[in-house]
């Protein structure tokens, strides 16, 4: 209904509906415009304010009025331009005059579906509560009982095996004299010795060029200078030809997923590869948005991405939740592992990644029977993503701790716990306790963990948190330049500095892992599944994870 009068405030939202409220201090503002120039959502803008003051200046009441019209910085109450609390305004403000403030009473989700479009965003599950991983503690500290080690003085070898690790008696070897040789047609699965914290799959496209290259360079540095063999998964967006052809490829895990983006380039590069990749990850699911596919929004599909992925520019790129050629678990997983293994002559470990789910055991049992399955990665609900519907992120998924634990105990039952490594992901380092979370998962049975969001926060100052701060990854407007393809934004990010921070993070995580493992007397072998080292002050969690309850 059209109003005859100017619409007043009918149907307008108050700022109290919004998740972040801008605190602007007129007394400090110099009206320099820096805040409004950088606001990624244009949530603030310059405006005009009229004030009327009644003054009395004499020694008796003698009123006079003053009118003052001034320019102000105002928060917009348009739901499509809501303040996301990133705080870039306060970053650039020379006078500390502006700052977003979290509004715990917001009612933002009631409104964020204009045009019938559900709210989509980046980031991870918005749940600031302490995760199970962060409730676990290491309660076995040996001083006199076991040989306790000193992280500062003893030598450690924090490594894990990625690949199927056959027991000695199962190796297809025969002995002739003092020599061991491979039996005819024998197959020894490829295994890589790596650092137990990997950088999980984040695609070129989801990440900006300097972010992806910064991570890649940091990984190369860690391997070549620091002797920490960190590997990194490409995510599903291909790899640049230059990397495919370089000697650094051995530190990377190309990911193949239902969109198959960039895979023709990988196959074309096969004859030119001077190194083989660390492994190949087949993505079936993502913990942050189980059952929901990957999606690279059109805003991010610019020239570079179109080239690498082999797609038109400015189109939404869906990586469907299912592979079109997948008909049953038996058949689908086996044929994917076979095909991809063949590309590198069965010399590269190939493993699937699934999202945390109650059905993980079914997948695991399938893999346990498949001699070519190198590992299983399970990605729990606290994982992050560049773009998904809020409902998928907030309400779907399975926590990693019990999912991983169930799988490990199942392997123990089958006697295969040392054979098929499990990698755990999803919320590792959610509250910044990277090494502790990684160690907890290792003690619960993981051979290693993947990180994603953590490295963005630590290496590139990503603003995101569990109160929905920023989370604009899907829109390509990342104010840090991490998840955008807009050169005006990504050129804010220094790839060399990202690499430096990646190095810092892994060096310090390695030291923290030593600090955790040393009192357990472990310096050369990871305490995978050493769950008697764990305790938790929550009876239910203790029971569910079969670890000790401590209080």
Partner 1 sequence: MKIAGNIDGKRVSSRELEEKIQAAVDGGAYELEIEAQGQHGIGGRIWPQHAPVKIRARGPIGQRLGAMGMMGTEIVAEYGASDDVGWLNCGAKITVLGDVTNGAHNAGAQGILYVQGSGGARCDTMTKHNPRFEPLQSWYFRDVGDSFAEFKAGGISVVCGVNPRHPENVLGYRPCVGMVGGTVYFRGRTEGYSDKDVQLLELSDQDWEWLRENIEPFLAAIDRLDYLSELTRAAADWRKLIAYTPAEKKQRSGQRLSTWEFRRSHWEPAVGRGGIFGEMIDQPFTLLPFITTGQDRRFKPVWNNEKQLPPCVAVCPSDIPSHRRFQLLRQGKRQEALDLVLQYSPLAATVCGELCPNICMKACSRKTMDRPLDIKGLGRASRDLTPPRPEAATGKKVAVIGAGPAGLSAAWQLMLKGHAVSLYESGDRLGGRLWQSVDKGKVEKDILEEDLTRISASAIEINLNTTVDQKLYQKLRQENDALVIACGAQGKDDRGLAYLGTAVHHKGGKILVNHQGQTNDLQVFAAGDVVSRGLPTHVIGGGRRAALALHALLTDSQYHPESRPTIPYAELKLEYFAFQRGECPTAHGTVTTPLVGPILPREESRPTPESEAQRCISCGFCRDCHICENTCPYDAISRRDLGNGEFEYMVDPARCIGCGFCAGTCPCGIWEMAENI
Stretch that binds partner 1, among 66-74, 195-203, 438-446, 519-527 (CB under 8 A): 66-74
Stretch that binds partner 1, among 40-48, 99-107, 193-201, 388-396 (CB under 8 A): 40-48
- Residues 80-116 as b/e (b if ≥16 CB within 10 A, e otherwise) read ebbbbbbbbbebbbeeebbbbeebeebebbeebeeee
- How many Å apart are CA 90 and CA 75, to the nearest integer? 14
| Closest CB 536 distance from partner 1, rounded Å | 34
Residue from 11, 59, 63, 117 binding partner 1 (CB under 8 A):
63
Q: Interaction with partner 1 in 195-214: which residues (CB under 8 A)?
A: 209, 213
- How many residues touch partner 1 under the rule CB under 8 A: the total is 74
- How many Å apart are CA 258 and CA 214, to the nearest integer? 26
Residue from 9, 68, 175, 413 binding partner 1 (CB under 8 A):
68
- How many Å apart are CA 354 and CA 352, to the nearest integer? 6
Q: Interaction with partner 1 in 248-287: which residues (CB under 8 A)?
A: 248
- Tell me how far CA of residue 540 lies from CA of 201, 543, 548, in angstroms: 32, 5, 11
| Closest CB 66 distance from partner 1, rounded Å | 5
Q: Is 143 in the site for partner 1 (CB under 8 A)?
A: no
- How many Å apart are CA 385 and CA 294, to the nearest integer? 9
- Tell me how far CA of residue 187 lies from CA of 165, 178, 371, in angstroms: 12, 21, 9
Report the helix count and the strand count for the chain, using DSSP H and E. 16, 24
Stretch that binds partner 1, among 68-76, 133-141, 327-335, 402-410 (CB under 8 A): 68-76
- Tell me how far CA of residue 351 lies from CA of 254, 275, 282, 367, in angstroms: 11, 19, 6, 9
Residue from 220, 231, 400, 422 binding partner 1 (CB under 8 A):
220
- How many Å apart are CA 397 and CA 152, to the nearest integer? 39
Residue from 69, 117, 143, 144 binding partner 1 (CB under 8 A):
69
Q: Is 247 in the site for partner 1 (CB under 8 A)?
A: yes
In the shown chain, the binding pattern of residues 286 to 315 toward partner 1, with x for contact by CB under 8 A and - for none, equals: -----------------xx--xx-------
Residue from 26, 28, 37, 550 binding partner 1 (CB under 8 A):
37
Q: Is 33 in the site for partner 1 (CB under 8 A)?
A: yes
Q: Is 62 in the site for partner 1 (CB under 8 A)?
A: yes
Closest CA to 215 of 203, 129, 134: 203
Q: Interaction with partner 1 in 85-104: which residues (CB under 8 A)?
A: 88, 91-92
| Closest CB 304 distance from partner 1, rounded Å | 5
Q: Is 38 in the site for partner 1 (CB under 8 A)?
A: yes
Closest CA to 253 of 349, 151, 158: 349
Q: Interaction with partner 1 in 447-506: which residues (CB under 8 A)?
A: 486-489, 491-497, 499-500, 503
- How many Å apart are CA 378 and CA 355, to the nearest integer? 6
Residue from 144, 179, 225, 551 binding partner 1 (CB under 8 A):
225
Q: Interaction with partner 1 in 498-537: which residues (CB under 8 A)?
A: 499-500, 503
What is the DSSP secondary structure assignment for residue 108, as one 8-state letter?
G
Which C-beta is closer to partner 1: that of 83 or that of 333? 83
Tell me the two tokens of residue 5: 């009068």
Which C-beta is closer to partner 1: that of 480 or that of 522? 480
- How many Å apart are CA 360 and CA 380, to the nearest integer? 11
Q: Interaction with partner 1 in 408-437: which residues (CB under 8 A)?
A: none
């Amino acid at each position: 209904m059209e109003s005859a009068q100017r619409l007043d405030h009918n149907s307008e939202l108050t700022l109290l509906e919004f998740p972040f409220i801008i605190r602007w201090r007129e007394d400090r503002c110099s009206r320099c415009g820096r805040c409004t120039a950088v606001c990624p959502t244009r949530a603030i803008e310059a405006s005009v304010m009229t004030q009327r003051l009644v003054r009395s200046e004499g020694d008796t009441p003698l009123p006079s009025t003053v009118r003052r019209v001034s320019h102000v910085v105002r928060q917009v109450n348009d739901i499509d331009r809501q303040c996301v609390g990133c705080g870039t305004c306060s970053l650039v403000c020379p006078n500390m005059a502006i700052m977003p403030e979290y509004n715990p009473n917001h009612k933002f989700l009631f409104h964020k579906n204009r045009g019938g479009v559900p709210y989509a965003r980046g980031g991870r599950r918005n749940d600031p509560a302490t995760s199970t991983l962060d409730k676990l503690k290491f309660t076995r500290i040996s001083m006199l009982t076991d040989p306790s080690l000193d992280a500062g003085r003893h030598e450690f070898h924090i490594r894990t095996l990625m690949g199927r690790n056959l027991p000695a008696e199962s190796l297809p070897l025969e002995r002739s004299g003092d020599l061991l040789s491979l039996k005819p047609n024998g197959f020894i699965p490829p295994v890589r010795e790596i650092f137990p914290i990997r950088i999980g799959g984040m695609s070129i496209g989801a990440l900006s060029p300097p972010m992806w290259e910064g991570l890649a360079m940091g990984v190369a540095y860690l391997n070549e200078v620091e002797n920490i063999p960190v590997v990194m998964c490409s995510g599903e967006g291909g790899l640049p030809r230059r990397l495919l052809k370089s000697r650094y490829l051995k530190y990377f895990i190309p990911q193949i997923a239902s969109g198959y983006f960039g895979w023709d380039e990988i196959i074309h590069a096969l004859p030119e590869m001077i190194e083989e990749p660390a492994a190949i990850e087949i993505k079936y699911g993502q913990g942050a948005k189980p059952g929901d596919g990957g999606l690279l929004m059109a805003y991010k599909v610019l020239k570079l991405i179109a080239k690498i992925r082999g797609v038109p520019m400015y189109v939404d790129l869906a990586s469907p939740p299912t592979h079109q050629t997948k008909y049953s678990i038996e058949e689908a997983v086996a044929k994917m592992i076979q095909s991809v293994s063949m590309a590198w002559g069965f010399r590269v470990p190939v493993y699937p990644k699934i999202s945390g789910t109650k059905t993980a055991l079914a997948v695991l049992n399938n893999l346990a029977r498949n001699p070519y399955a190198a590992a299983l990665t399970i990605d729990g609900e606290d994982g992050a993503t560049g773009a998904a519907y809020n409902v998928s992120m907030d309400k779907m998924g399975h926590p990693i701790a019990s999912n991983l634990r169930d799988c490990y105990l199942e392997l123990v039952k089958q006697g295969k716990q040392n054979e098929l490594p499990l990698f755990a992901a999803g919320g590792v380092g959610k509250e910044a306790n990277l090494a502790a979370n990684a160690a907890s998962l290792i003690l619960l049975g993981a051979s290693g963990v993947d990180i994603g969001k953590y490295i963005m926060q630590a290496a590139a100052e990503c603003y995101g948190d569990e109160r929905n701060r920023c989370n604009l990854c899907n829109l390509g407007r990342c104010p840090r330049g991490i998840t955008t393809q807009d050169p005006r934004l990504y050129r804010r990010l220094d790839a060399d500095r990202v690499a430096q921070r990646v190095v810092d993070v892994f060096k310090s995580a390695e030291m923290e892992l030593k600090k955790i493992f040393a009192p357990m007397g472990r310096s050369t072998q990871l305490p995978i599944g050493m769950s008697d080292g764990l305790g938790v002050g929550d009876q239910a969690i203790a029971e569910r994870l079969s670890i000790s309850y401590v209080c």
